[in-house]
């Protein structure tokens, strides 16, 4: 872990690190907010935030304004990049494929498979590394995210409930098998077998594995310009079908951007703080 940058923030530290990832086969960056409690030697709960399309490890830490309450609650915030990067890494022909659009899965198709292993990077490489290197309570780690990252949070939580003890999302892609963003990404990264696609679809995972968490929190803006891609009602119906408690809150007038996230970030941090204390 090479420390690239460190700034004092609400008596904690906002850091950016770089590592040479074996999984992604190249350098990758991630941001970590260390609350003051952790700087003073206390082990703290941690939250992974997975960002959306076109974002980097800096998007959340600059735009979400999460550090103030995280410092009060004693939460470590971890924000990985959204994809592998570099000249040797395949790039798509548009903003919603390739670099900046890793979709938090392991690609199986060329040219993506060589580097695009974001699922394994987060849960098999970054997760144990940070438990080893940072004052994290290993039994108190949650995950949340926005848009593509909301998809990542919901899917990784259901795939790895032994790692993540709480989950929430802002405007997640709830049924990627049934929207253009998901169809484009899945067909390129995973091929044409829709059975494989379903293994990375939050709604399908929920229907297959059933309820795994005490509660899931999702916020969705009613004026979201990408609403047709997101399908929160399909996820809500699946939760009702299997008996998973869901708090799906439709926020009137809010769009898809970070002013929306800023407005409700405190609710999500408090939600995770409560869930991770259980």
Give the active site residues. Answer: 147, 224, 256
Main-chain dihedrals φ then ψ at residue 29, nearest 5 degrees: -115, 155
If you ran DSSP here, which 8-state letter would residue 117 be given? B
Which two tokens mark 138? 């290993």
Cα distance between residue 171 and residue 151, in whole Å: 9
Cα distance between residue 176 and residue 33, in whole Å: 30
β-pairing, 136-146 vs 44-50, is parallel
- The C-alpha torsion from 143 through 124 and 195 to 161, rounded to 10°, is -40
The count of C-alpha atoms lying within 13 angstroms of the C-alpha of 13, restricted to the half-sphere facing its C-beta, is: 13
Residue 191 · residue 109 · CB < 8 Å = yes
Cα distance between residue 164 and residue 29, in whole Å: 21
β-pairing, 167-170 vs 216-221, is parallel
246-251 β-sheet, strand order: 2-9, 12-21, 26-34, 76-80, 44-50, 136-146, 167-170, 216-221, 246-251
């Amino acid at each position: 872990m090479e420390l690239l940058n460190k700034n004092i923030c609400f008596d904690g530290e906002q850091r950016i690190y770089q590592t040479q990832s074996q999984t992604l086969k190249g350098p990758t960056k991630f941001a970590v907010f260390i609350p003051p409690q952790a700087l003073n030697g206390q082990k703290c709960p941690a939250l992974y935030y997975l960002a959306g399309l076109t974002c980097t490890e800096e998007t959340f830490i600059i735009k979400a304004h999460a550090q103030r309450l995280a410092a009060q609650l004693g939460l470590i915030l971890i924000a990985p990049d959204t994809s592998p990067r570099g000249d040797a890494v395949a790039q798509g022909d548009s903003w919603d494929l390739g670099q900046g659009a890793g979709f938090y899965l392991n690609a199986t198709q060329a040219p993506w498979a060589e580097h695009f292993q974001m699922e394994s990077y987060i849960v098999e490489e970054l997760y144990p590394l940070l438990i080893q290197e940072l004052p994290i309570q290993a039994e108190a780690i949650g995950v949340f995210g926005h848009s593509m990252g909301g998809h990542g949070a919901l899917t990784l939580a259901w795939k790895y409930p032994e790692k993540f003890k709480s989950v929430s999302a802002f405007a997640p892609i709830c049924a990627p098998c049934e929207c253009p963003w998901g169809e484009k990404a899945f067909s390129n990264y995973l091929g044409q077998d829709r059975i494989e696609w379903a293994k990375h679809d939050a709604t399908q995972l929920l229907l297959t594995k059933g309820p795994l968490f005490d509660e899931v929190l999702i916020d969705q803006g009613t004026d979201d310009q990408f609403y047709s891609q997101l399908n929160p009602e399909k996820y809500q119906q699946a939760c009702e079908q299997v008996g998973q408690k869901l708090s799906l809150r439709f926020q009137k007038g809010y769009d898809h951007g970070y002013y929306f996230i800023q407005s409700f970030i405190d609710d999500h941090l408090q939600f995770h703080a409560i869930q991770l204390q259980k």
